[in-house]
Amino acid sequence: MDPILKNKPATFGEIIDSRLEPIIQRAKTRNSRNINKNRLTLKKVINLYSKTKVNAPEIRERKNWLTRFSRQLESKSAEWNDSLEAAFAGNRRLNATNSSLQTTNGRLNAANGRLSTTNGRLVTAESRNQKIELLAPTRLEVEITRKYKMATPANGNFPKLYSKSKTGKTQIWQIEVIKQGPAAAGGGTALIRVSYGYLDGKTVVNEKEITKGKNLGKKNETTPYEQALLDAQSTWQGKVEGGYAENLGNAQVPGLASDNAVAAHKTISPMLALDYHKAGKKIIFPCYVQAKLDGVRSIFFNNALTSRNGKAFTGLEHIIAELAPATKAGLILDGEVYSTKLSFQQFVGLVKKKKFTAEDKEQLKFVNLWVYDCVNDQPFEERLATLKDFFSKNKFTQVHLLPTEECKKKEDLKGFHDKFVLEGNEGLMVRNKQGLYQLGSRSNDLQKYKEFEDAEYPVIGFTDGQGIEKGLVIWICKTKEGKEFHVRPRGTHEERAALFKKAQSYVGKELTVRYQELSEDNIPRFPVGITFRDYE
């Protein structure tokens, strides 16, 4: 049985078994006459499917399975073609067989398109020609859910969702919409009810009343009930994309990196670090340590480099070109864009650009990717082993694996910190060996160890200095308490002079300020302006 036909719904499964499975088997035989029969048989299946009238849930099941089958057949067609080439080497029937398979694949795609139009429930695929890898059934379910949003149930009862707590308990979450009052046009209200708790435990119920619709007087006007359905659907979809599952067997901890969680996101939000001086008791020794680079966080996923907020970096094609082996291996790399040749201001300025001069392109060659983690559901110790194996088998000039060292006891951290700082780094990153990757959140398993602080402050104005600092920008920032303070940005005189000429464009933006400590008024002492994080 083909993997994509496992766990099929019982109703549509009979059609799959009796009609589609023989087609797949005959497509692998040497009898070219069977190929023509395949096309006729498949046409009957498609007609039967299109004309069958069944209830809404079964339509949704059939839609999902036909969609999955169509996309997987698309992916597997290349594999079948290779097998046929070997089997029919030197045989003139090869071209006819190959053409028939392509025609069959095209008919399935056409059927899928007709179904989208008929139901009005499928959205346009991001790219019909995009290659979809053969996925495990659980990951495939999430991939289809993301690409084709679930239709709003007419009765207002959305499927229950399940997840796991960090302690291993099963959590249950459900949302439903209830009509209230008369059903006349525009009449009555609607109630959105959310219930959640532990399986076989106490359930907490929250309710929100929707008293009016939106876009009143317009073509897309909604009644209170219709608006409640739309709001509930958006909330339900958000839970699915956050890691919740309809199937109890697929329940997992939301936020943990897994096939399901990765498939639900177009871009990956990296795991963030806590402050060791505040959460250090969560570190288990021996642990791993790495240098804290003064670079720009970057994720390599789906053949693109993006910032921690999902912005795509342009101009880094020289790095992406080298990472073809990572794409082939299915690796999602976590690291920093960094340069040992250019100043921080220089390479950050290049990374932020959309258009590049000839000089820019030459300087970009000095910008590399330093990898220190990868995204999967394994503990860090195993993720590190995966990276070491990958880099041992592939040689790069623009991509580097950041060295990782073992720290046996707490007292050794200061020595590692001082060593890395002397080498020109910001400080130290501390990792638990068995720590799991948590998407987009701060984790006890990843902590930063620094002997200075940094924070974001809004720029409310600017000035310049006196004497040799005349014409060199000095930022005016404000604390949450409304206290103003001056910040000199790091950089050369030429860089600060260039900033002064366009300083007005930075007013209102958030400046990362590095400082030694806070005064009694919560004003940073010895502040230095690091960067505007508008590249993330």
Given a cut of 70, whether residue 409 has pLDDT beyond it is: yes
Q: 288 with 424, same domain?
A: yes
pLDDT for position 121: 40
* pLDDT classification of 325: cutoffs 50, 70, 90: very high
Given a cut of 70, whether residue 56 has pLDDT beyond it is: no
Per the rule left: phi > 0, alpha: psi between -120 and 50, beta: everything else, 352 is alpha
Amino acid identity, residue 108?
L
Contact 278, 444 (CB under 8 A): no
Contacts 24+ apart (CB under 8 A), 142-145: 142/240, 142/245, 142/259, 142/260, 142/263, 142/264, 143/263, 144/64, 144/67, 144/68, 145/240, 145/264
Over residues 453-468, mean pLDDT: 92
CA distance 275 to 421: 17
Q: 378 with 488, same domain?
A: no
Return the percentage of the chain with pLDDT > 90, whole number: 42
Over residues 208-217, mean pLDDT: 90
Return the percentage of the chain with pLDDT > 70, whole number: 66
> Cβ of 406: how many Cβ atoms within 10 Å?
11
On whether residue 153 sits in a domain, the answer given is no
pLDDT for position 81: 55
> Cβ of 217: how many Cβ atoms within 10 Å?
5
* pLDDT classification of 148: cutoffs 50, 70, 90: very low
CA atoms within 13 A on the CB side of 498: 9
* pLDDT classification of 187: cutoffs 50, 70, 90: low
Question: In CATH, what number is assigned to the domain containing residue 440?
Answer: 3.30.470.30
Q: 227 with 248, same domain?
A: yes
Amino acid identity, residue 524?
P
Question: In CATH, what number is assigned to the domain containing residue 462?
Answer: 2.40.50.140
* pLDDT classification of 269: cutoffs 50, 70, 90: confident
Given a cut of 90, whether residue 286 has pLDDT beyond it is: yes
On whether residue 306 sits in a domain, the answer given is yes
Q: Are strands 524-525 and 517-518 parallel, antiparallel or unpaired?
A: antiparallel
Domain boundary among 427, 449, 471: 449
On whether residue 172 sits in a domain, the answer given is yes
Q: 350 with 243, same domain?
A: no
Return the higher-pLDDT residue of 39 and 413: 413
Q: 417 with 488, same domain?
A: no
* Per-residue model confidence as pLDDT tens digits over 476-514: 999 999 999 999 998 888 899 999 999 999 999 999 999
Over residues 174-196, mean pLDDT: 80
Q: 427 with 278, same domain?
A: yes
Q: Exposure of 438 by Cβ count < 10 A (0-12 exposed, 13-18 middle, 19+ buried)?
A: buried
Contact 417, 473 (CB under 8 A): no
**Three-class DSSP category at 210:** strand
Return the ∠ at Cα 97 (arms to 93 and 98), rounded to 5°: 120
On whether residue 154 sits in a domain, the answer given is no
Q: 10 with 75, same domain?
A: yes
Domain boundary among 431, 449, 467: 449
pLDDT for position 512: 94
Over residues 281-294, mean pLDDT: 96
Q: 505 with 461, same domain?
A: yes
CA distance 300 to 320: 8
Q: 165 with 110, same domain?
A: no
Which of 112-121, 167-176, 313-322 reaches the highest mean pLDDT?
313-322
Given a cut of 50, whether residue 9 has pLDDT beyond it is: no
* pLDDT classification of 461: cutoffs 50, 70, 90: very high
Over residues 344-357, mean pLDDT: 87
Over residues 224-242, mean pLDDT: 86
Over residues 101-111, mean pLDDT: 64
CA distance 11 to 8: 9
Instruction: Give me the phi and psi of 29, to 5 degrees please.
Output: -90, 175
* pLDDT classification of 5: cutoffs 50, 70, 90: very low
Return the higher-pLDDT residue of 322 and 344: 322
Over residues 158-166, mean pLDDT: 84
Over residues 322-334, mean pLDDT: 94
Percentages (nearest 5) of helix, strand, coil residues in the chain:
40, 25, 35
Return the higher-pLDDT residue of 277 and 124: 277
Cis peptide before 379 (omega within 30 of 0): no
On whether residue 26 sits in a domain, the answer given is yes
Q: 66 with 14, same domain?
A: yes
Number of domains in the chain: 4
CA distance 323 to 304: 9
* pLDDT classification of 108: cutoffs 50, 70, 90: low
CA distance 216 to 222: 7
| Domain carrying residue 377 | 272-449
On whether residue 152 sits in a domain, the answer given is no
Q: How far apart are the first and last CA of the chain?
A: 46
On whether residue 147 sits in a domain, the answer given is no
The pair of structure tokens assigned to 216 is: 């009143």
Contact 339, 347 (CB under 8 A): yes
The residue ranges of DSSP E strands in 326-388, in sequence order, are: 333-338, 368-374
Given a cut of 90, whether residue 266 has pLDDT beyond it is: no
Q: Nearest CA to 329 among 307, 303, 310, 306?
A: 303
On whether residue 37 sits in a domain, the answer given is yes
Q: Out of 1-15, 153-167, 202-216, 266-280, which region has the weakest mean confidence (pLDDT)?
A: 1-15
Name the β-bridge partners of 257: none
The pair of structure tokens assigned to 475 is: 């930022």
Q: What is the torsional sign of CA 361, 364, 365, 366? A: positive
pLDDT for position 347: 87
Q: 193 with 253, same domain?
A: yes
Q: 397 with 418, same domain?
A: yes
Domain boundary among 263, 295, 320: 263
* pLDDT classification of 238: cutoffs 50, 70, 90: confident
* pLDDT classification of 426: cutoffs 50, 70, 90: confident
Given a cut of 60, whether residue 113 has pLDDT beyond it is: no
CA distance 249 to 116: 29
Over residues 58-81, mean pLDDT: 60
* pLDDT classification of 128: cutoffs 50, 70, 90: very low
pLDDT for position 154: 65
